[in-house]
Amino acid sequence: MAERNILITGGAGFIGSHVVRLFVHKYPAYRIVNLDKLTYAGNPANLADVEGRPNYTFVKGDICDMDAVRDLLSRYDINGIVHLAAESHVDRSITDPLAFARTNVMGTLSLLEAAREQWGGCYDGKLFQHISTDEVYGALGPDDAPFSETTAYDPHSPYSASKASSDHFVRAYRDTFGMPAIVTNCSNNYGPCQFPEKLIPLCINNILHRRPIPVYGKGDNVRDWLYVEDHARAIDAVFHRGRPGESYNIGGGCERKNIDIVRRITEIVDRLTGKPSGTSLDLIAYVTDRKGHDLRYAIDSAKLAHELGWRPEVALDEGLEMTVRWYLDNRAWIDDITSGEYMKYYDSMYGGR
């Protein structure tokens, strides 16, 4: 196996932490460097079990800081990049779009530019893998076919516009400078360690505290759900066996209306906490719809299935059950976040932000 020194950005976040864990365990001969700014969404507790592994290094830093990124690429002789660092929440992008342009657009561009300089046009054995979203394709109507890799980009939110822009920059570096790059566009993830601003963990947390569960609009919007470890396995498959220059869609093939997801979670939480069925249904609160709320996302991952043999392994019911159990077994994780305690933990470990 070739020597691999891999930079994973955003590894302290939700999906990144699962990718770091998979790579650290599966490839003991690789050096895995995790660069993360530790924004509100980054939590070192997500990787407590990986800290101290000989093939793992954590670096606190900002992808927008080109000097620091240059130094890191050279110091660790990085030859592969899996780029996940981003501002990731649509609602925040509506209140603070500039933060999304800064990190998702300028940050990705800084990383590309630093990699181009470091690799000096010698791209043998190098790869830049950019982790993106299905939201770049816009919104589907109820009867439209799922997004494929050839669907035209049509982003609607500041979040998806910033991700679309970063995808275009990655392809521009491929086409202009010959950088070996792959873009993956994935559907909605769920699972352990997801920040409780996103629908599923928010719903679980609010049920546990008997707080209202805000359902935007009529709850009719449809998302295609994928268990986070299936996404990590897809990223691994694409990193090692994907064709440089290509894009791959990754999806759960599992479309559900938001209201159906919310109802299902109330059922699971009620059952696992010993409450009579239906106890938490009264918490559902229909609230003003999100601005520009995309009606439906659905992903066609046939290319990934045919070329690389990847398929989701975790069915939605099983994944939701595992997710709820994880949040019940890790109440301290979510309580630390909602109380702000986790910030004190990493301020003391990593010297503030």
| Minimum distance of ligand TYD from residue 21's CB (angstroms) | 22
252 interface partner picked from ligand NAD, ligand TYD, none, CB below 5 to 8 A per type: none
Residue in the structure block whose two tokens are 């933990």: 345
List the x/- string, 28-67, binding to ligand NAD by CB under 6 A: -------xxxxx-xx-------------------xxx---
| Minimum distance of ligand NAD from residue 298's CB (angstroms) | 13
Catalytic site residue from 62, 135, 230, 236: 135
Residue in the structure block whose two tokens are 């910033």: 162
The residue from 160, 165, 188, 323 that contacts ligand NAD (CB under 6 A) is 188
Task: Give the separation between CA 237 and CA 235, rounded to whole angstroms.
Answer: 5
42 interface partner picked from ligand NAD, ligand TYD, none, CB below 5 to 8 A per type: ligand NAD
Instruction: Tally DSSP H helices, then E strands, for the chain.
Output: 13, 12
Task: Give the separation between CA 118 and CA 299, rounded to whole angstroms.
Answer: 35
Distances (CA, A) of 338 to 49, 196, 214, 286, 306: 22, 8, 17, 23, 42
Tell whether residue 8 is a contact of ligand NAD (CB under 6 A): no
Catalytic site residue from 62, 134, 224, 236: 134
161 interface partner picked from ligand NAD, ligand TYD, none, CB below 5 to 8 A per type: none
Catalytic site residue from 30, 123, 137, 159: 159
Cα pseudo-dihedral 141, 145, 147, 149, rounded to 10: -150
202 interface partner picked from ligand TYD, ligand NAD, none, CB below 5 to 8 A per type: ligand TYD
**Residue 351: Cβ within 10 Å count:** 8
| Minimum distance of ligand TYD from residue 62's CB (angstroms) | 23
| Minimum distance of ligand TYD from residue 299's CB (angstroms) | 12
| Minimum distance of ligand TYD from residue 140's CB (angstroms) | 13
Task: Give the separation between CA 202 and CA 159, rounded to whole angstroms.
Answer: 19
Tell whether residue 186 is a contact of ligand NAD (CB under 6 A): yes
Tell whether residue 195 is a contact of ligand NAD (CB under 6 A): yes
Active site residue 159: yes
Closest CB to ligand TYD among residues 136, 238: 136
Active site residue 134: yes
Q: 187: alpha, beta or left, given left = phi > 0 and alpha = psi -120 to 50?
A: beta
- Residue 227, C-beta contacts closer than 8 angstroms, at least 6 positions apart: 189, 190, 191, 252, 312, 313, 314, 316, 319, 322, 323
Residue in the structure block whose two tokens are 């660092």: 85
- Residue 247, C-beta contacts closer than 8 angstroms, at least 6 positions apart: 149, 182, 183, 184, 185
Distance of CA 100 to the CA centre of its chain: 15
Binding site for ligand TYD (CB under 6 A): 90, 188, 198-199, 202, 214-216, 221, 223, 258, 290
Q: Which residues are catalytic?
A: 134-135, 159
- Please report, as ranges, the residues that interact with ligand NAD according to CB under 6 A: 9-10, 12-16, 35-39, 41-42, 62-64, 84-86, 88, 103, 107, 131-133, 163, 186, 188-189, 195
